[in-house]
C-alpha cells in the first residue's frame, strides 16, 4: 500500500496565502486537493492518503507539515500552491523540488511535469519550467517531494481560470496521474472517469462597489511571495486597508495578532498582508534565527561585508568547531535581504 502525503498550502484562519482578484490561495488549493483525491480514488487502487488539512479551519506550521509526512513514512509528498507577483502580467505554471533534491525527487518532478504538459498546451498556459528552491516542506521531508504553483492569483486572466472548476480539474488530474505513474499505482478495471461532483471554488464575499483608486495612483508593491514572507505582530488594534495607499479600511486586527507579510510599498510605508495592507509603523517584525552551513573564512568576510553594506545591525555568530557554521537573528526586511543574499550565493541555510 503506497502512502501519499498531500499538502494544501497555507490555511485559514492564520494564513490565507496569496490573495487577489477575489480569490484566496488557501481556498483554491484546497479545491485542487479535493479534485486530486477524487481522481485518484476513481481511477487507481493500492494507496492511502493523508493531508495536512482537509478544511479551511486548519493551519499547520511548515515544519509540522514535513514532520507529519516523515512520521507517517510517506512514499511521496506533494504540496499545492498558487503563485503571486507584484507584476500582474506574471503568468504560467511551474513546479519545484529542493535545490539539493534526491534523484527520486527529480524523477517525481519530471513525471508530474510530463503529465501537466498536455494541460498547459490545452489551455495555452505559459510553461515556466521545472525549478528548485529552498522551501521548508521540500527541504525537511525525507521522501520524494514536489511543490506545484498553478498560475498567478495576481494575474486577472489567470484568476479567471482559477475560478473555473474544469480548469482546476485538468491540473489536479494531471498531478494525480503524475503521482500514480511515479508510484506505479494499479489502475482500476474501469476506464478513467471524470470527477462527477466538482467542488465550487470558494471566493471572498463581494462587497458593494466603491470608487477604486486609479492603478497609476497607487504605490508600487514589491512582492515577496511565500519564499521571502516574514511574520509581524500588531502593536495595537490596527486597520487592514484594501489598497496600497492605505485607503478603504476593511477590517481590524487585534493587538498582538501575528500574521505574515507578503510584500511592501516604496519606503516600506505599508506591508502587503492577506486580504489587504497595513501600516508598517503599526507592527513589529518577529526575529528569526538563520543557521548557515559551513562557511570558509572568505565566505564569512563576504557575509560580514554584506551586512555592513546593507546596514543590518544583527550579530553574525560563528561556530568554528567542525564544519564552521554561523547563526544570525534577523527580522522583517532585513530577514528578506539576508535570505536573498544567501540564495544568490547558493549557500545552505535553514
Q: Among positive and negative, which fits the CA dihedral 7, 8, 9, 12?
A: negative
Number of other CB atoms surrounding residue 323 within 10 Å: 9
Question: Annotated catalytic, 149?
Answer: yes
Cis peptide leading into 320, omega within 30 of 0?
no
Angle (CA) 324 325 326, round 5°: 135
Q: Which of 25, 34, 94, 149 is catalytic?
A: 149
Length reported for the chain: 350
Strand pairing partners for 132? 97
Q: Which residues of 242-269 are buried (b: 16+ CB within 10 A; e: fewer)?
A: bbbebebeeeebeeeeebbbbbbbeeee
Three-state DSSP class for 116? helix
How is residue 267 annotated by DSSP? G
Strand 145-152, strand 230-234: pairing: unpaired
Q: Which residues contact 172 (CB under 8 A, 6 or more apart)?
A: 32, 33, 35, 36, 39
Separation between Cα atoms, residue 77 and residue 59, nearest integer Å: 18
What nine digits make up the cell of 239?
A: 486597520
CA distances to 25, 72, 341 from 197, rounded to whole Å, are 21, 30, 47
Separation between Cα atoms, residue 152 and residue 174, nearest integer Å: 18
Catalytically annotated residues: 149
Amino acid at each position: 500500500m503506497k502512502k501519499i502525503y498531500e499538502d494544501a498550502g497555507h490555511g485559514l484562519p492564520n494564513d490565507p496565502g496569496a490573495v487577489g482578484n477575489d480569490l484566496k490561495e488557501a481556498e483554491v488549493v484546497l479545491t485542487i486537493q479535493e479534485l486530486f483525491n477524487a481522481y485518484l480514488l476513481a481511477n487507481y487502487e493500492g494507496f492511502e492518503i493523508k493531508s495536512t488539512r482537509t478544511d479551511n479551519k486548519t493551519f499547520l506550521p511548515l515544519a509540522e507539515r514535513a514532520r507529519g509526512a516523515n512520521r507517517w513514512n510517506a512514499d511521496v509528498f506533494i504540496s499545492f500552491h498558487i503563485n503571486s507577483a507584484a507584476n500582474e502580467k506574471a503568468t504560467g505554471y511551474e513546479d519545484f523540488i529542493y535545490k539539493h533534491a534526491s534523484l527520486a525527487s527529480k524523477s517525481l518532478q519530471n513525471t508530474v511535469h510530463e503529465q501537466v504538459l498536455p494541460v498547459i498546451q490545452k489551455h495555452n498556459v505559459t510553461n515556466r519550467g521545472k525549478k528548485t528552491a529552498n522551501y521548508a516542506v521540500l527541504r525537511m521531508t525525507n521522501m520524494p517531494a514536489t511543490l506545484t504553483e498553478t498560475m498567478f492569483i495576481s494575474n486577472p486572466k489567470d484568476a479567471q481560470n482559477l475560478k473555473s472548476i474544469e480548469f482546476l480539474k485538468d491540473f489536479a488530474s494531471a498531478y494525480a496521474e503524475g503521482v500514480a505513474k511515479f508510484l506505479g499505482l494499479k489502475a482500476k478495471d474501469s476506464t478513467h472517469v471524470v470527477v462527477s461532483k466538482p467542488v465550487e471554488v470558494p471566493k471572498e464575499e463581494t462587497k458593494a462597489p466603491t470608487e477604486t483608486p486609479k492603478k497609476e495612483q497607487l504605490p508600487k508593491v514589491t512582492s515577496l511571495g511565500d519564499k521571502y514572507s516574514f511574520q509581524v505582530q500588531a502593536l495595537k488594534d490596527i486597520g487592514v486597508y484594501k489598497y496600497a495607499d492605505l485607503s478603504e479600511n476593511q477590517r481590524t486586527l487585534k493587538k498582538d495578532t501575528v500574521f505574515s507579510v507578503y510584500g511592501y510599498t516604496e519606503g516600506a510605508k505599508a506591508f502587503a498582508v492577506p486580504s489587504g495592507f497595513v501600516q508598517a509603523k503599526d507592527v513589529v517584525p518577529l526575529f528569526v534565527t538563520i543557521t548557515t552551513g559551513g562557511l570558509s573564512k572568505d565566505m564569512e568576510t563576504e557575509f560580514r561585508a554584506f551586512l555592513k553594506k546593507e546596514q543590518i545591525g544583527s550579530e553574525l555568530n560563528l561556530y568554528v568547531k567542525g564544519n564552521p557554521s554561523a547563526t544570525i537573528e534577523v527580522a522583517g526586511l532585513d530577514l528578506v535581504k539576508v535570505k536573498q543574499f544567501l540564495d544568490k550565493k547558493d549557500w545552505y541555510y535553514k
